[in-house]
Amino acid sequence: MGVILPSDPTRAPAPWGPDQDRLHRHLLRHPTLLPRGAHLLLAVSGGQDSMALTGLLRDLRGRHGWTLSLWHGDHGWRAEAAAQGDALAIWAAAQRLPLWRDQAEPGPSTEAKAREWRYACLRRQAEALGCQRVVTAHTASDRAETLLLHLARGCHRQGLASLRPSRPLGEGCLLARPLLRFSRQDTARICQEQGLPVWIDTSNADLRFSRNRLRAEVLPVLEELHPGATTRLANTAERLAEDLDQEEELVSLALGVLATDRESGEGEYALDRCALVALQPANQRRILQAWLRRHWGSSLPARDLESLVARLPLKNGSGRHVLTRGWHLSWNVCKLILTQFSASPTDHGELPKRR
């Protein structure tokens, strides 16, 4: 069935050790990550990372007053997956931890679709149980891999600042990742020291999956060339995330200066065009995206955004850009004006009636 048992299963795990203390102190410094008294839904595959997460939170729940529930999903990719899920259920029952299971029907065809299915199931189960947090076992190693994959794809900094400690998952629920300061080597050691069983996912050795190939063939070379590379990559992703958060605050302040909504008509939002185009193009793009997200509710694709910024210098005169869902962006000498209309502009270039 592909299970790794602790080397000495008769030895009782230490109830409190350096790893529990390390996570405990991290959570005290970040109290909103896993709030005291919260109902937590843990995504548990049975692999070493999720088992280490389960063991650590089980040990800490008395100090934090949590209620723990587990969720396990079977993608239908492996013949042994059902038996492993049954064994995990027996272990969870022995720990007095409720386990909820889902089976994909049919099995997802790609990694991306499998991820979408997992999060949809987790969101649905969290809503059913009233959980404030869904908790996943992403580690610093996962963060480093994601950074490299996004870098190779040519991703923007938002993607390079990968795997934030938390993000919204549903109404009143956050996805939390408390193990981002732990490595995959840490979770393997924790499972051994705490006597936690680990069920092997044979699909992790399938090099057709990009992340598996990166893990097996790329990161070992980087570690050989520069020992500790994985940790430094994860730290880089964290610093990028911190920089982006700081920039968001500055962008919000800039919008407070540039927005001229009070001078616009009802149902319109406006920016000071002269002040905007005086900024560097990168700052223009950043401010425009934040402004559009705030009022339109969406962001422009990178290519469209670059094209828009190129059209905004005052020498180009007035213009317009049709967005989706009936929204329309226009500009004159003084302002950029964002307006929602009752329909899209006609083929003759006439604007429909404003809402």
**pLDDT value at residue 319:** 94
**pLDDT value at residue 344:** 44
pLDDT band at 268 (very low <50, low <70, confident <90, very high): confident
User: 3-240 has which CATH code?
Assistant: 3.40.50.620
Residue pLDDT, tens place only, 287-298: 999 999 889 988
Evaluate if residue 192 carries a pLDDT over 50: yes
Q: For the chain, what are the domain ranges?
A: 3-240, 259-340
**pLDDT value at residue 49:** 97
**pLDDT value at residue 355:** 45
Across the chain, what does the average pLDDT equal?
88
Q: Does CATH number 2.120.10.30 belong to domain 259-340?
A: no
Q: Write out the chain in H/E/C secondary structure.
A: CCEECCCCCCCCCCCCCHHHHHHHHHHHHCCCCCCCCCEEEEECCCCHHHHHHHHHHHHHHHHHCCEEEEEEEECCCCCCHHHHHHHHHHHHHHCCCCEEEEECCCCCCCHHHHHHHHHHHHHHHHHHHCCCEEECCCCHHHHHHHHHHHHHHCCCHHHHCCCCCEEEEECCEEEECCCCCCCHHHHHHHHHHCCCCEECCHHHHCCCCHHHHHHHHHHHHHHHHCCCHHHHHHHHHHHHHHHHHHHHHHHHHHHHHHECHHHCCCCEEEEEHHHHHCCCHHHHHHHHHHHHHHHCCCCCCHHHHHHHHHHCCHHHCCEEEECCCCEEEEECCCEEEEEEECCCCCCCCCCCCEC
Evaluate if residue 30 carries a pLDDT over 80: yes
* Pairwise pLDDT comparison (117 vs 207), residue with the higher score: 117
pLDDT band at 98 (very low <50, low <70, confident <90, very high): very high
**pLDDT value at residue 172:** 84
pLDDT band at 347 (very low <50, low <70, confident <90, very high): very low
Evaluate if residue 50 carries a pLDDT over 70: yes
Evaluate if residue 250 carries a pLDDT over 60: yes
